[in-house]
Amino acid sequence: METSIEIEVRPTEIDVMGHVNNAKYLEYMEWGREDWYNKANLSFDRFTEMNIGTVTVNININYRKEARLGEHLTIRTRPLKRGRTSYVLEHVIENEQQELVADAEVVNVTIDLKTRKSVPIPKELADRFPS
């Protein structure tokens, strides 16, 4: 399942170079992940009921084209692959001209909320990934 959200670049997201600050792309992607989880019926509350947390352990991001104030961006999120306790979500950010602005692979690990140790991915999450 792929999801997408649209945002408008705000003044607080611009750096001294006049474009989106690199750290803001991480926020955009986090918003995309949150939307993906919610549309997959895996809200924060659902994970808590399962005693599961998700922790981001690696982000490999490519900055392809600058984005500027007022531009509308689309953030697409989709599941790429999964292991036993980790999984990878892909994010693609495009501008209004459908030009690639940034892309990333984000590795997450599922943990037990009490022990704070990694645990196998719950079936509800695992089923969202390609076999």
Which residues carry out catalysis? 15
Closest CA to 18 of 96, 70, 75: 70
Instruction: Kindly write down the DSSP assignment for every residue of the chain, as one continuous string.
Output: --EEEEEE--GGGB-TTSSB-HHHHHHHHHHHHHHHHHHTT--HHHHHHTTEEEEEEEEEEEE-S---TT-EEEEEEEEEEE-SSEEEEEEEEE-TT--EEEEEEEEEEEEETTT--B-PPPHHHHTTS--
Block residue for tokens 């170079």: 17
